[in-house]
């Protein structure tokens, strides 16, 4: 498969897996994603970078209860590809119920990196943040301090 075909396939899969995730359909999501054993995640809620992914039935059930009724579209900003790596830079435009919050805009700026392992592309890194709409310098400073106001 040519690099452009691989990129197109990964974009289609990214859109489908994101839609499943935001609906809380973790079985479908897991069927669409191949997560590498050395996967890293910088999640939109902040905190330390996680390593690996817990795909246990208990963890997937918890995720399925946390994300509900999502509607999504995927905006691809840029792609980069070589024989062994593909980088997708995207905006996931989504409206969903997350946690106990009512349905709202949960759009994310996302970078995903895929590495080829044999004939399969595995997700090795995902970075997502909710800063699609931009923030002021003061808001960014508050976030950088961990959400604390000026002391």
**How do residues 61-93 score in pLDDT, each as one tens digit?**
999 999 999 999 999 999 999 999 999 999 999
Residue 150 lies in a domain: no
For residues 40 and 37, give the distance between their C-alpha atoms in angstroms, rounded to a whole number: 9
Mean pLDDT of 10-37: 96
pLDDT of residue 150: 59
Residue 151 lies in a domain: no
CATH number (domain holding residue 53): 3.10.450.50
Residue 23 lies in a domain: yes
Please report which helix (H) or strand (E) contains residue 116, including its range.
strand 108-117
Residue 48 lies in a domain: yes
**What is the β-pairing status of strands 35-42 and 50-51?**
antiparallel
Instruction: Give yes or no for residue 3 having a pLDDT over 90.
Output: no
For residues 92 and 73, give the distance between their C-alpha atoms in angstroms, rounded to a whole number: 6
Is the Cβ–Cβ distance between 92 and 72 less than 8 Å? yes
Q: Number of structural domains, the chain? A: 1
Residue 76 lies in a domain: yes
Residue 14 domain boundaries: 3-144
């Amino acid at each position: 498969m040519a690099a452009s075909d691989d990129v197109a396939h990964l974009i289609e899969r990214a859109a489908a897996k994101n839609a499943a995730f935001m609906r809380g359909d973790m079985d479908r999501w897991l069927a669409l994603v191949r997560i590498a054993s050395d996967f890293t995640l910088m999640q939109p809620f902040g905190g330390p970078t996680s390593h690996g992914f817990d795909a246990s039935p208990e963890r997937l059930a918890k995720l399925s209860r946390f994300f509900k009724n999502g509607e999504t579209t995927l905006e691809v900003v840029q792609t980069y590809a070589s024989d062994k790596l593909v980088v997708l830079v995207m905006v996931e435009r989504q409206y969903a119920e997350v946690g106990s919050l009512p349905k709202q805009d949960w759009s994310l700026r996302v970078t995903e990196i895929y590495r080829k392992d044999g004939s399969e592309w595995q997700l090795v890194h995902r970075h997502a943040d909710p800063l699609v709409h931009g923030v002021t310098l003061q808001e960014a400073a508050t976030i950088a301090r961990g959400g604390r106001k000026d002391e």
